Amino acid sequence: MNLRAELPPDAIEQIVAVVVARVLSELSTANAGRWLTGAAAAADYLGCSSKRVYNRLPDIPHVRDGGRLVFHTADLDDWLRAGSPR
């Protein structure tokens, strides 16, 4: 089935504006961050080795849940943007 409709330019602009707003809303929700469990997951996210994460643990934002290390990606992103100490 073929469907064809002609719309005035202002209607097309309104449709585009609604679609863009929805996409941006979805992206902002998706980029809100997620929790990572373990040094290996944080290392994978940061693009380094688990050993480096353990060595830098005093500097890297994290919490402990019992014996588990837990990292939040938003915190890791902020830490990197702040110029993580080398």
pLDDT tens digits along 5-21: 888 989 888 888 888 77
Which residues 6+ apart lie within 8 Å of 63 measured at CB?
69, 70
d(CA 32, CA 29): 5
Q: Is the pLDDT of residue 27 over 70?
A: no
Which pLDDT score is estimated for 84? 66
Which pLDDT score is estimated for 86? 57
pLDDT in tens, 41-73: 999 999 999 999 999 999 999 999 999 999 999
d(CA 6, CA 4): 7
Which residues 6+ apart lie within 8 Å of 84 measured at CB?
56, 59, 60
Which pLDDT score is estimated for 39? 97
The closest alpha carbon to 42, from 56, 23, 29, belongs to 56
